[in-house]
Chains A and B, each alone.
Chain A
């Protein structure tokens, strides 16, 4: 080509002349100009890039990312941030962790100098005026002044009704701290310490900040509110099945999987820093499946999109289980599966069948105490499950059940070593008989129960008719076997037969052929890889009312195929699961267990269900939730909660309808010890639980403090009920209260429901939120780039640090420093008003302690009805007595207390002697001089606390880990301590974490192992070292035989559809169109622009999104009601109103809308056309719904621990009407 060139010869000439007027070098073809050197014209960018220092920090709330960041500082100003890339390696043949991060974290520095930054302390103006006047009027005593305000109904109503409506005024730290401390002192004195509560979300991403208020409040005797269950992130299926809160693989372990299903987990969006492990593992030949109702971001990466209807995932899992069980357990057997299930699951455990009036029913586990076996009279004989030994044909009692975990006889026997026993998975071949057993199904319209009977092979042992869990499961899953009676599924195409693929297709919209193929692929992969099949479980399946059932159905898939306890295998629950790796040190410091035990821990869902009066709006009975099996006939959910409380199953604060301090005084006056006094008072009915009369003023929650939290703009399910009953301000509730025939009969039901129960709401934050807006006191907090703290997560095996890039600007303080100020003032004011008091603490029966052996066979007996005696720790909560020197709270807060050396530590049932560690900490932190903490290690600074947390945990202190394993060895008789011995001399200090993220040490605090540099996967210690699971049987448990589980029809995993809101609440049926719009499912998945490390108000995120509240909907629904993209819409149901803009896309399924999570009411929210008030948040349309099976306690793995088990704040079953807004958009 010879005539190439530009334009025309004339242009060439013109352009060419440029070469003579510039120092630059023009290419011969005159195409481009090159310049070397000089370049003063571009010095701007060099200047912009220059900076003075780079500081390591991270982001502190709710984010599983736990990414390490570089914060750039120039001239003392934070300029921007970028990710650190210096993580220790994941291994030579694996991708690395770098550069963990996401756009939300990358824009965090915006907050430092943003116009929404809280720079000074603020108080609600009307309250501050009253307080100043009152103080003057009463002669200067702040406590008396506070009393004079809250005891005056007019004054109280005046400041409470002003909540949220502007009018915050600037005050000083001194004044604000005094007001807050005075309110606390008054409330302890007048109502008792358990009328105060604190809420700070998930601690893993800043445990020191969490510990600040928590330590103060626990020292006072006030409960901390849980978070994991409240967020509906806790999968109750995990304690039910594994006896473990949640333990999951780190994301690096996805790489190890041969087959990966993302089920309700939109990894690129919600696990942004981890998503690359999935994209990269595909290149290793991993097959990837996405189960999602919409074409979510992760679907792009999947080999297959399984477009399952929302909430129908349980049916999909049941049908996959049907195929798997039929082909690989009934029609043929796989040695790998047989071996695994014999040792590690309850499939071979024997269950008694009971003949009732309607036929044979699934009964209880057979235990040694039921039988004529040598172990019959052994210790804990009623807690030792049984199998049939196929070698001998006789019943055998294998090691490892919970009966071996406690007491003297179990030393060395709590293990999964079967010895000579060969448990039979099935009695089919050796059956004495077959009986027709009743199995429930709930797939009818409305979810009501229908029973079907199918034949189960049985053995007769004396009078007892028994079978195995596997035999029950096969019948339950509707898998016909030759010679067994009953109506069975005839084929996979039998759509009327429950649990078949064709049946599931009708419910899920997933083709039966796809279900069958996925089940086979999943199973073949498990066989080919030795259990390297993994399912990522996400919020899309976990936030439903019946999520535990969805999960259990899915866990069948991961467990019976031998995938649990493997690298690259098993369940990977990624829903708010935050692993505080140094959990032991954290728990002891945050809950002040070094000074007082036990702590007050409250499950938050029940707390708000009761205290925001949401139970009053239950227009159904508890029997409508078991859908008619009758176990809860005539009861309200509140009745069940009250029962659970009085049997000590679940915590309850405020506990009694009298002050816990007053009870001790009364006992003294009566000449009795506090505990017997309380028991006597309860038995006589003189004393009641507060939950039995929640609308009486003596039972109100009085003070709530929030830090690291935006309860009112985010997690408050039933947000409008909070505004109405707790705060007493404007709200949008239009729901009706329960009619007389639906009310609970065991609690007091006054006609008038109080509004504004709470006296003081305090929030510590660095930005404005709904919570600060509604608060009476707002304290300016340091951001995450302005303090010292720690960060850990499940998603990677490191601990790393927060460090201040700048000092807290204006008048902001770190959480630790703020709470220290409050503690100091509180202690001063306590001198005159409190002194030392005796506190009667009620606590539920705890998991991982012998208290969990309270209910034999899970058979429920109520002392109230005289079935049993009220005995603390057995049929009542544990009652303990604490001496609280209220004048010494500050001293205690700032020093490590004496219980560490006197009693030691206990975590997950493992004891630790820490005299040596306390001494080391004295040297590291220095020793406190004078006061209550004289001679104890210092906890003055955040770094002191961080070092205490690290040092008191086996994950950061190899000596402790090894000590703990040696203690476990005594119980299990299997070798464990070598897992941490490689790091016995390693002590990770805070200073280490400032240099680089530091890998943690394998510790008994967790179930998996990082030893030798392997990726973390849960339960590998259980599987490889034969350590039992913390369940009744010691195995992974498919069968749950508690009375209430039987009554719920949920002994085995079963498909339960989403709640029917039309039946329960009279909402418009789904899909119906009225003049109010169209009725749709209302889901609140996580938001791409405001999750975890970030909030919705950040300008960068608003600029990259639609700039305000939005609701996603399908074009098909939009067409029905004339909505176009970006139109203003209103979503209205009985709980509240949302005014947002619509995002219309065909990627959304018809019939479902998404209002992404955490869309606060602060940004561009107009007044609604429905009620002329400010529109609500995503949780304005939801409310709390308690599932009765979540409040079971006192029975093996069904025993309480903080965030371990409990009712979830589930929110996915809700529906709403949605319509286009017609009234003009107004803001004021």
Chain B
């Protein structure tokens, strides 16, 4: 056992309102500068939809992340390291600027400076790349709130295989939001892809960074990252990425995206894990076992043996304490309501998500039954407006069972709390159906609903 500490994040998608405040505050703080106009370290995608860059999840096209070879060894999907070295001067697997978007501005000055003329003046869009007038046809958030729509939805890679379950018709509309930052993976493909050794993982907190002095701009990291969360700065010629706001977290304040999250859905905390176990876990044969395998890598900070090993590994006492109190640990390990994004990429991502529950009662409305009864709720989950298969494609390599477990816990929590809200005694049978105790369920409720600042970070 080799204990290491990792800063991690959980986002509760059930609370995300899709407001993009996180994107804007992050952009303002970090990427609002020349060469980075098209870059959003944090972006929010409406799902179903194409995402940013367009169809980033289509690894058949982009070849990001790792694949497990027949011999059980991992290799970068874009090709082994030999291939990387041989192809270093021509990297064909890069999203083009059109896949991100051509950033633009406007000739705003015209509004004030126009001489007297025939028409009311207007500010036209100008490309920030060429400086010339342009037509805006795509952006980092083009399909916002469309719910997919006929034109874009069917091209969502997550629809593949469940086309019969997703109809882009008024009556069947559904959507939810997926905010994304760098995953700060335990097994980062970007780092492994870098021929210059410029990408590293900070030993004390696991934040993945690009050394701006060492980066030579090969862009292999951009190909290697299956989440497409490493970006190329067109001015400096170097790669840049989300830094988990290390200048902030180092002094004890949360990342910009978290602290400014109006939905109050982001949790930051420390996870202890066994660094020696990562590669084995990332190499399990079946894609659908990966998420459980990753959970198996995490160490219980309550375990005296883990504490001892952590101390031996040089992890300070207050960090171990932080790991014990970590809300992220509670959500991932204790309540088991958070799931990783695309475990099948085998990078062991460390930004996890609670899948969205609602709307749920919608589907039982025709029955005339008490929609809050947990029996009805559980039945309803199988026919959610958001197809559970879609969520499974995002979080569990297509296995619907773990997603269902989480949704049932959320539904049970609502059902259990209804009694308490009405001044009645809580019904212990309800948490029991999802394998939880009353106290545990109440604590989960407090963490998810009341979610005080001090409890989120």
Binding site for B on A (CB under 8 A): 1, 3-8, 10-11, 14-15, 18, 21-22, 24-25, 27-29, 31-36, 39-42, 44-46, 48-50, 79-83, 85, 93-96, 98-103, 106-107, 109, 114-116, 118, 122, 125-126, 162, 164-168, 258, 267-269, 272-273, 275-276, 279-288, 295, 297, 299-305, 513-514, 517, 521, 528-529, 730, 768, 773, 1088, 1097, 1099-1100, 1102-1108, 1114-1116, 1124-1126, 1143-1150, 1161-1167, 1173-1174, 1227-1228
Contact = CB atoms under 8 A, between A and B. Distances in A.
A126 B152 CA distance: 51
A295 B209 contact: no
Contacts of B122: 1161-1166, 1174, 1227
A22 B104 CA distance: 41
Contact of A167 (B72, B116, B213): B116
A136 to B, nearest CB: 22
Given A100-B262, A275-B17, A285 B147 contact: no
Contact of A18 (B15, B197, B264, B449): B197
Contacts of B117: 165-167, 1228
B335 interface: no
A1173 B117 CA distance: 12
Given A297-B18, A1107-B139, A1146-B170, A45 B30 contact: yes
B372 to A, nearest CB: 6
A810 to B, nearest CB: 12
Given A1-B280, A42-B209, A285 B73 contact: no
B24 A1100 contact: yes
Interface in B243-282: 243, 245-248, 256, 259-264, 275-276, 278-280
Contacts of B119: 165, 730, 1167, 1173-1174, 1228
B147 A1145 contact: yes
B449 A280 contact: yes
Nearest to B139: A1103
B264 A99 contact: yes
Nearest to B80: A7
A538 B382 CA distance: 32
A45 B199 CA distance: 15
Contacts of B108: 114-116, 768, 1097
B445 A283 contact: yes
A93 B76 CA distance: 49
Nearest to A1124: B151
B264 A95 contact: yes
Given A36-B202, A283-B414, A1150-B170, A1 B72 contact: yes
A1210 B199 CA distance: 58
A287 B15 CA distance: 15
B81 A168 contact: no
Given A6-B80, A82-B256, 18 more contacts: A4-B283, A24-B197, A32-B187, A35-B200, A42-B212, A80-B28, A82-B260, A103-B20, A125-B116, A165-B114, A279-B14, A286-B421, A288-B358, A295-B147, A300-B356, A1099-B105, A1147-B173, A1166-B122
A24 B247 CA distance: 21
Contacts of A295: 147, 170, 173-175
A360 to B, nearest CB: 39
Given A48-B29, A83-B260, A1146-B150, A107 B24 contact: yes
Contacts of A730: 119-120
Q: Which among A7, A95, A100 has the greatest number of chain B C-beta atoms within 10 A?
A: A7
Contact of A4 (B73, B200, B248, B360): B73
A31 B136 contact: no
Nearest to A14: B81
A303 B371 contact: yes
A48 B29 CA distance: 8
A1076 B75 CA distance: 60
Q: Which among B262, B371, B449 has the greatest number of chain A C-beta atoms within 10 A?
A: B262
Contacts of A102: 19, 21, 262
B120 A276 contact: no
Nearest to B263: A276
Interface string B341-354: 00000000000000
A1150 B276 CA distance: 58
A125 B116 CA distance: 8
B191 A1108 contact: no
A295 B173 CA distance: 7
Given A33-B197, A1106-B142, A1163-B122, A99 B421 contact: no
A49 B111 contact: no
Interface stretch (B222-230, B302-310, B362-370, B400-408): B362-370
Contact of B111 (A31, A300, A513, A773): A773
Interface string B329-347: 0000000000000000000
| 5 nearest CB pairs, A to B | A285-B418, A167-B116, A166-B114, A303-B361, A268-B17
23 contacts: A3-B73, A6-B73, A14-B81, A29-B276, A31-B187, A32-B191, A34-B200, A82-B29, A98-B453, A115-B109, A126-B116, A167-B114, A272-B21, A272-B262, A280-B15, A281-B449, A295-B147, A303-B358, A304-B371, A1102-B106, A1124-B151, A1146-B169, A1162-B111
B141 A1104 contact: yes
Contact of A284 (B18, B362, B449): B449
Contacts of A267: 17
Contact of A42 (B139, B201, B211): B211
Interface residues of B, number: 135
A1100 B140 CA distance: 11
Given A106-B28, A116-B111, A302-B358, A85 B259 contact: yes
Given A82-B259, A95-B449, A529-B422, A44 B212 contact: yes
A483 B95 CA distance: 77
Contact of B358 (A36, A167, A300, A1097): A300
Contacts of B202: 34-36
B448 interface: yes
A1164 B284 CA distance: 53
B420 interface: yes
A287 B451 CA distance: 20
A416 B106 CA distance: 61
Given A1126-B137, A1145-B146, A36 B204 contact: yes
Contact of B247 (A46, A99, A297): A46
A1146 B149 contact: yes
B188 A118 contact: no
B121 interface: yes
B218 interface: no
A276 B262 contact: yes
A99 B262 contact: yes
B415 interface: yes
B150 A45 contact: no
A258 B422 contact: yes
Q: Which among B29, B114, B204 has the greatest number of chain A C-beta atoms within 10 A?
A: B29
B54 interface: no
B149 A1115 contact: yes
Contacts of A268: 17-19
Contacts of B243: 42, 45
B23 interface: yes
A18 B195 CA distance: 10
Contact of A276 (B198, B264, B278): B264
Contact of B359 (A25, A103, A107, A304): A304
Contacts of B325: none
Nearest to B258: A99
Nearest to B187: A31
